[in-house]
Amino acid sequence: MISLSKITSFISFGKKPKVLEYYFALNIGVEKLTSGLWTIENNQLEILQTAAQNYGSTEEIFKVTDKLLDQVLGLREIEPQKILFGVPDSWILDDNLKDENLKILRKLVKELELTPMAYVADSQAIVHFLEKMEGVPPTAILVGFDKHHLIVSVVRAGKLDGVRVVTRGENSSSDIEKALLTFTDIETLPSKILIHGESAAGLRNQLLSFSWMVKLSFLHFPKIDVLAEDLEIKSVCLAGASEINENIKFTDTAIEKSTPSQPLESTESNSSDTSKIDESNFGFVTGDISDQIKKEEVLIPEVEAEAEELTLSEESNLEESNILETTDFESHTVERPLVKEQLKERFTRNLNLAVIKKYLPKWSVKLPIILGGFGLILALLAGYILIPKAEVKIFVEPRILEKDAQVTADPNQKTVLEDTKVIPGQIVETEVAGNLKDTATGKKQVGESAKGTVVVYNKTFEAKSLSKGTVLTSNNGLKFALDTTVNIASQSATDSGITFGKANITVTASAIGADSNLASSSELTINGFSSSQLLAKAEGNFSGGTSKEVTVVSSEDAQRLLAKLSSDLRLQAQQKLQGQLADKKILAEALSENIIKKSYNKNINDQANEFSLNLTIRYKGTAFEEKDLHLIVSKLVTTQVPEGFQFDLSQTETQADVSKLDHDGKLIFLARFKAKLIPKIDTEKILNQIRFKTPEEVLSLVKNMDNVLGADIKMIPDLPKFFARMPILSKNIKIEVGLK
């Protein structure tokens, strides 16, 4: 008799496709709302579409949100039932939503008739996103640009030190500096600034030109990078997806923002039905099904029909049973392992000696053939038992244990002090030089100044003297200077009246350009005198004033090139020292710099489209051995290993973020330890359970174990599926446990 569940394993019934569930996401920014439509397919986060719009008040949130959700849904014939929220950090108090903000979300889901999933603070979501994308907890200053505000966050080793929201002024660099100055409890700021949001890419050059190290405690000039577009909504979606599926993956690509024209197939988003067979339908069928299998030739042609029929019927039933047992992985039937005696009985019962003897001819000419066939069967049986080998790799799911600690690398220390978290350090230094070119972006007016002659009238009864450089000002505010010193006689009385003293002198415009080409008889006042005392008039038209705009090297250009080249040389210095000390760990962030030589090929305001810088810097820092750091880790982690897990020091990741580098060479840094705790697996027990099982049965057994993700089975030799079974002998099975 054969189980119906086994028979159905041979029939290809159409399976109901898995129905995807779609979700809304809404990120509530300081002044902008962003919505998204997302789903999870094959452990992959898919963000289908986003839409954004500014809002001016709390009352507008409800109307704008409804509009944005319609936009991301577009023509898709789906009805998401759940929504995920991203909220400003100002909405959070003691890790909970403030009451007034909680009321907003409650009203929002009620009006939209949606089920709330969860909420996450914007800054926390972004930190999680960066860690997921880069593989390590971020250490950086995050700056989000809105139209009227800046959101400045400081994160070290994946932990937020605080968030500041400031009004955006004309100079974004100064605004960021003001915000960072409020982080008074941070001794050394992270030397990386990550910017995102409105017009962020266009502001990078401005930020690179700012003098960050004048007021702020950076170890060196910060590196400035621009983060992905739509960072906030992507971060919120990834945070929600990670709660649903710990193994979620996400590829950061451009997200569609326009309404899609192709409607999706209508589905019920909250459906989770799968194709199942009701247990009540399980049953048995009776009857002879051996006719379905081709009978093999009988090796004993002289055996009479009765014995042949018996033998073939039993062999056919045996083969049919083996086929069903081998391929039955859908019904999860676990067969009891066959012991050696059972196998022997199964393979030899078809050659029942009593039956053979009954039908043997009285002469024994063919007895050697019979015995030879019997020996061949025994040899094949022995080979089937002794030869097969198998390797089973069990992939387990580790438990992550994280721990932070402040560690000091001291050049004067020779041994590890576990209690005080002090490890030996070694002072290292090197000198590197480099050259880098950049494009000039400054603008300057160049040309000639206008020249002309003026007549200076003295309206006083005293002679006057004007020195070279005395400033004259025209009615429209243009400045001119006397080319030489001049003396003007006093006014005098004559029969016809008063005659002013006068003198002719040349003047030159203070500024270049044609605007200074004054017309004849234009009046000019003289610095230090009123027009009732001294007055100048243009003697003829002024000429020679010209100007044009050219590209020059600005101070911002020079500062930006210095920051770029310094960053490159720092990395070169770290790589050079690391090559010399392969067994040591050298942090690029912890290298102090001393500029030995700095030479630009152009000066500030020199006309040029391109300029270059030659730079030589001496770097000095403190190196340490990672094995010493691992000792500190083991001390901190060992006491926190839960039951059923084991701590493997080789599976420990460390990240160091510089806090301070003292003058005596002591390096103080924040070390974050990430230990992967491996589940304890009883391999001996598994070994006994999987002998003579099919690979499908072994995979089913292993996957149902706690903390096991799956397994990989390698059979030697690689037999057809019909014959594939684990070895009977335990010594021929090798089991390895590890991470995937």
Domain of 220, CATH number, reads 3.30.420.40
Does position 343 have pLDDT exceeding 90, yes or no?
no
DSSP letter at 638?
G
CA 633-638-644 angle, to 5 degrees, is 135
Confirm if 519 and 541 have CB atoms less than 8 A apart. yes
Same domain, 452 and 520: yes
> Are 702 and 708 within 8 A, CB to CB?
yes
For 281-309, write each residue's pLDDT tens digit.
Answer: 323 333 332 333 333 333 333 333 343 44
Q: 89 Cβ partners below 8 Å, 6+ apart?
A: 121, 122, 123, 151, 153, 163, 165
User: 304 and 338 in one domain?
Assistant: yes
Per residue in 237-257, pLDDT tens? 999 999 888 888 888 776 666
Are residues 592 and 544 located together in one domain of the fold? no
Domain-embedded: residue 255: no
Q: Looking at 367-381, 393-407, 415-429, 588-602, which range is the least confident one?
A: 367-381
With a CB cutoff of 8 Å and minimum separation 6, the contacts of 56 are 31
The answer to whether residue 129 is domain-embedded is: no
Residues 512 and 584 in one domain: no
What are 712's two structure tokens?
Answer: 């990989």
Tokens of 195: 């910017």
Number of structural domains (the chain) is 6
- Of all residues in the chain, the percent with pLDDT exceeding 70 is 82
Flag whether pLDDT at 358 surpasses 80: no
pLDDT of residue 287: 35
Is residue 662 situated within a structural domain?
no
Confidence check: pLDDT of 360 > 80: no
Domain around 435: 429-440+553-623
Last residue of a domain, one of 200, 226, 252: 226
Q: Which two tokens stand for residue 164?
A: 């500041």
Is 258 part of a structural domain of the chain? no
Please compute the mean of the pLDDT values over residues 346-362 and round it to a whole number: 44
> Does residue 520 sit within a domain?
yes
- For the cut 90, the answer to whether the pLDDT of residue 455 exceeds it is yes
32 and 103 in a single domain? The answer is yes
Query: Which segment of 19-28, 76-85, 526-535, 664-673 scores lowest on mean pLDDT?
Result: 664-673
Specify the DSSP class assigned to residue 514: G
What's the one-letter identity of residue 647? Answer: F
Quote the strand ranges of 204-250, DSSP E. 223-226
Whether residue 608 is predicted with pLDDT greater than 50 in this model: the reply is yes
The pLDDT of residue 611 is 96
What pLDDT band is residue 18 in, cutting at 50, 70 and 90? low
355 inside domain = yes
Last-in-domain residue among 623, 641, 660? 623
Q: Is residue 41 over pLDDT 50?
A: yes
Phi, psi of 696 (to 5 degrees): -65, -40
Strand partners, 431: 618
With vertex at residue 522, the alpha carbon angle to CA 521 and CA 526, rounded to the nearest 5 degrees, is 115
Please report, as a single letter, which amino acid is at residue 711: A
pLDDT of residue 304: 38
Please determine, for residue 553, whether its predicted confidence score (pLDDT) is greater than 70. Answer: yes
Does the pLDDT value for residue 321 go beyond 70? no
Residue appearing with tokens 């199964």: 346
Residue 575 has pLDDT above 80, yes or no: yes
Question: Distance between CA atoms of 546 and 448, rounded to whole angstroms?
Answer: 5
Specify whether 435 is located in the same domain as 559.
Answer: yes
Same domain, 315 and 352: yes
pLDDT(470) > 60? yes
Note the pLDDT of residue 672. Answer: 80
Same domain membership, residue 544 and residue 570: no
Window from 88-92, 509-513, 647-651 with minimum mean pLDDT: 647-651
Residues 375, 298, single domain; the answer is yes
The token duo for 333 is: 């039937």
- Is residue 416 situated within a structural domain? no
Which tens digits make up the pLDDT trace of 659-718?
A: 778 888 889 888 887 778 889 888 898 988 888 889 999 988 888 888 888 899 998 888
pLDDT in tens, 177-232: 999 999 988 888 998 999 998 778 888 888 988 989 888 988 888 899 999 878 99
Whether residues 381 and 449 fall in one domain: no
Average pLDDT value over all residues in the chain:
80
The pLDDT confidence band at residue 17, using thresholds 50, 70 and 90, is low
Structural domain contains residue 76:
yes
Are 355 and 288 members of one domain?
A: yes
CA–CA gap between residue 624 and residue 586 (Å, rounded): 7
CB 173 within 8 A of CB 210: yes
CA distances from 504 to 456, 477, 508, 528 (A): 6, 22, 14, 19
Radius of gyration of the chain, Cα coordinates, nearest whole angstrom = 43
484 to each of 240, 385, 465, how far by Cα in Å?
79, 117, 11
Same domain for 112 and 162: no
Residue 406 has pLDDT above 60, yes or no: yes
